[in-house]
Amino acid sequence: MKRTNALWITALVLGWFFDFLFWKYAPGISFALYVVLCLAGGFLVLGLQGLKPAWKALLLPLPILFFAAITFLRLEPMAVFLAVVFVLFLMGVLASTYLGGRWMEYGLLDYLVNSLRLLGSFLARPLIFLSEKKAEPLQPGAPARKVGWKYVWAVLRGVLIALPILAIFAGLLSTADPVFERWMQDFVDLFRLERLPEYLFRGFLIVLVAYLLAGAILHAASQSRDEKLVGLDRPLVRPFLGFTEAAIVLGSVVVLFTVFVLIQFKYFFGGQANIDIVEGYIYSEYARRGFGELVTVAFFSLLLFLGLSGIVQRETRLQRGGFSALGIAMVALVGVILVSAFQRLLLYEAAYGFSRLRTYTHVFMIWLGLLLVAVVIIDLLQRERAFALAALLASLGFAVSLSLLNVDGFIVRQNLGRAAQGEGLDVAYLTSLSDDAVPALVAAYQSDDLPPLTRDAAGAVLACRLSEAPRRGDSDWRAFHFSHWQAERRLTPLLDELRDYQVFTDRWPRQVLTPGQVLYDCSDAYSD
């Protein structure tokens, strides 16, 4: 690699920015800003080496920047967690495919193998690179290079000579100006002996982050051009299971699922009357039971079909058609099971309201259903390797959906809508939601369409939240979060109105009394 100074300077600058942005500050806009700096630094160093990215690799920064932005636009935990995970994952994929650009052809094992290779580069690539540069012979006729330590000692001597001179002038200037004197005192306080352990740790952290980032950049420069895809030329595991055995397995599962689906049509899709008369279940109890298990069945059925498709021998056209027919039948039945699980969840929500976990499950089932359809198409086209891309797109779709949906705002709107129709409302649970919920709460409180009791309940949630001032974010710009800022902006005009709500902070759980003399709990103790 040419211009190695650019690599180390950029890595150290990024390491310092890591310390500057995150030390003692809660993540806010800082994470997104750091992602942008890392992308810019990596592209800059690689560009200076004359290494141009493959055009398919240039598609990856788009979702990376989207998810980076989500980390300071949303506060709902799952959306933020998935955003951080996908930023780190996609940046790793970018480093692995920077020059080759074959990430769309990856199979599941390729992601695993490339992750292990990247991890190895994090740990060893900078050391290997330094050892190679040290052993590099001089070109014939090139002037002898000075030993690096001579420069180091020259710098140290210059610093030692400059320090006493600076101390004398600083003392004189401090005497002349009290503002400058106070500034100098603050500067000197930075070097107090008791802060030495903190500085040592932060220095180590800066070097560690710089080392890891240098490893990622070196990996992109040296290991991302010739991407070896696992099982592309020949299968990693040759098919060894006979068609008869596979047909028995799939056929048995299809029969079992068919019986289950028939029961669903009779007792569930048939309505409440069938359930009450035949089995004696309350409809909401029947709906509540098993939707998690049904989603699990759908997920593992998908894995079963994919696993069998990789190990089953299909030598004739009839065998290939038979296997695909059984697989499609199983996937179709799984689709019906997913619809059953989806309807059960709808009924449960109609009875008990919406929560984060139920909303996650709803969105997950939709994307799992789309992935099942993609699996059928992939099998018909005999493009088994495309499953990894389909799974990646479905995962990205799930994360994007949660981000755009604003889960906490969605829960507020749905639960207040239920309350307006006479259903119960858990004020304590709405209080426990993040600041993402505040715009929806304020809109409901200011709405003339809600019944007075429901509107008062929305005001009670806002009053409870205002009594929790310590929840607000750090005032430093590095901790700035759009959701915090928007919540403050929407709540400030309502401060006078919300004073009519009396919050009892000396009670446990905390309680709020509305102007309509209704008492609600403010406690955020809740379990899905």
Question: pLDDT, tens digit, for every residue of 441-493?
Answer: 999 999 888 898 999 999 999 998 888 755 444 577 888 899 999 998 999 88
**How many CA within 13 A on the CB side of residue 169?**
5
- Highest mean pLDDT range out of 40-49, 120-129, 241-250, 473-482? 40-49
The mean pLDDT of 142-171, rounded to a whole number, is 64
What pLDDT, on the 0 to 100 scale, is given for residue 282? 53
Helix (H, G, I), strand (E, B) or coil at 520: strand
The least confident of 135-139, 451-455, 517-521 is 135-139
pLDDT band for 37, please (50, 70, 90 cuts): very high
The least confident of 231-240, 362-371, 410-419 is 231-240
| Summary mean pLDDT of the chain | 82
What pLDDT, on the 0 to 100 scale, is given for residue 235? 60
What pLDDT, on the 0 to 100 scale, is given for residue 95? 94
Give yes or no for a contact between 511 and 520, defined as CB atoms under 8 angstroms apart. yes
What pLDDT, on the 0 to 100 scale, is given for residue 473? 46
What pLDDT, on the 0 to 100 scale, is given for residue 281? 52
Domain ranges of the chain: 4-136, 243-384, 408-521
pLDDT at 174 over 50: yes
Percent of the chain predicted with pLDDT > 90: 32
Q: Alpha helix (H) ranges present in 353-385?
A: 356-381
456 Cβ contact partners less than 8 Å away, ≥ 6 residues apart? 514, 515, 516, 518
- Highest mean pLDDT range out of 160-164, 331-335, 380-384, 451-455? 451-455
Q: 207-212 — which CB contacts under 8 Å span 24+ positions?
A: 207/12, 207/15, 208/15, 209/14, 209/15, 209/18, 209/19, 210/8, 210/11, 210/12, 210/14, 210/15, 211/11, 211/126, 212/122
What pLDDT, on the 0 to 100 scale, is given for residue 383? 80
What pLDDT, on the 0 to 100 scale, is given for residue 385? 80
What pLDDT, on the 0 to 100 scale, is given for residue 190? 62
What pLDDT, on the 0 to 100 scale, is given for residue 525? 46
Q: Which amino acid is located at 398 in the chain? A: F
Q: Which amino acid is located at 301 in the chain? A: S
CA distance 461 to 413: 13
What pLDDT, on the 0 to 100 scale, is given for residue 425? 87
The least confident of 315-324, 363-372, 438-447 is 315-324
Dihedrals phi, psi of 476, to nearest 5 degrees:
-65, 145
Chain position carrying tokens 């929407």 = 490
**Gyration radius of the chain's alpha carbons:** 31
What pLDDT, on the 0 to 100 scale, is given for residue 521? 87
Q: Alpha helix (H) ranges present in 136-193?
A: 148-176, 178-189
CA distance 151 to 174: 33
The least confident of 17-26, 160-169, 301-310, 383-392 is 160-169
What pLDDT, on the 0 to 100 scale, is given for residue 198? 75
The mean pLDDT of 108-134, rounded to a whole number, is 84
What pLDDT, on the 0 to 100 scale, is given for residue 322? 85
Give yes or no for a contact between 347 and 272, defined as CB atoms under 8 angstroms apart. no
CA distance 332 to 326: 10
Both tokens of residue 141? Answer: 């006729």
pLDDT at 75 over 70: yes
What pLDDT, on the 0 to 100 scale, is given for residue 87? 97
pLDDT at 85 over 90: yes
Report the residue count for the chain: 528
pLDDT at 234 over 90: no
CA distance 98 to 106: 14
What pLDDT, on the 0 to 100 scale, is given for residue 526? 41
Q: Helices 77-97 and 61-73 meet at what angle, rounded to 10? A: 160
287 Cβ contact partners less than 8 Å away, ≥ 6 residues apart? 343, 344, 345, 346, 347, 348, 351
Residue 436 DSSP code: G
Helix (H, G, I), strand (E, B) or coil at 486: helix
Dihedrals phi, psi of 503, to nearest 5 degrees:
-100, 125
